[in-house]
Amino acid sequence: MIFNRIALAASLVCACLAAQPREAWSHAADAMAAPPGAVVIAPRTEARAGGTEIVAIFSKQIFAVFLSRYADGSPVIGAKVEADTDLQSATLTETDPGIYSSKELLMAPGRNDLTLKFTINGVASTKALTLTTPIEAAEAPVSRPAISTAGPVAIGGAVAAVYALLSAAFLLARRPQHRAMARVVARARRAEG
């Protein structure tokens, strides 16, 4: 009976030492992730102005516009391109055939409305675009099993506590038998002598 009580107390001590509060699972990171098999280049927007196809991206603090002819996909070379947001404007320079970029425009997280003005062979065009950049989500809490997060000191303490409680239970359980045995031996000696 005493052994059962001490064993129960030892198991409760181990559970208290090893248990740590668990954090709730969050699917925020899963919801923000791209679907399997999707290729995500950068925040981008696409548009068409007359016979010109426009693709604009914002990646690593660089705003880039790709201009190509809609009919055959060939790059538009030698265009003059300007981009305006509500607070800033920049002239984009041609870095490769059909690619115009600038580091002067900064985009805020979320929706960014911008106006793209370009001149191709003396013909000016204007196109309003919306570029949506990702909003940084709060880092999702990491769910960890409680026993694996216990440090070596906590595990050692739990093992020592269990050993001490089981040893005490064993000694207490054996103690009455030793007294009874001592009485029997004492009676036998009295009877002999």
For 88-119, write each residue's pLDDT tens digit.
Answer: 999 999 999 999 999 998 888 888 899 999 99
pLDDT at position 80: 95
Q: Is 96 helix (H, G, I), strand (E, B) or coil?
A: strand
Q: Is 84 helix (H, G, I), strand (E, B) or coil?
A: strand
Which of residues 146 and 100 earns the better pLDDT score?
100
Q: How far is CA 1 from CA 4, 5, 117, 172, 173, in A?
A: 5, 6, 89, 11, 8
User: Which amino acid type is present at position 60?
Assistant: K
What is the DSSP secondary structure assignment for residue 39, as one 8-state letter? -
Q: Are 20 and 150 in contact (CB under 8 A)?
A: yes
Each residue's pLDDT tens digit, 148-180: 566 777 777 778 888 887 787 777 666 666 666
**How many helices (DSSP H) and strands (DSSP E) are in the chain?**
4, 8
Q: Give dist(CA 146, CA 37) in Å, integer.
A: 34
Q: Give dist(CA 87, CA 102) in Å, integer.
A: 16
User: Which amino acid type is present at position 78?
Assistant: G
pTM over 0.85: no
Q: Are 139 and 121 in contact (CB under 8 A)?
A: no
| Number of neighbouring beta carbons within 10 Å of residue 141 | 12
Query: Order of strands across the sheet with 123-133?
Result: 44-49, 52-59, 62-69, 99-102, 89-96, 80-84, 110-120, 123-133
Q: Are 137 and 127 in contact (CB under 8 A)?
A: no
User: Which amino acid type is present at position 110?
Assistant: G
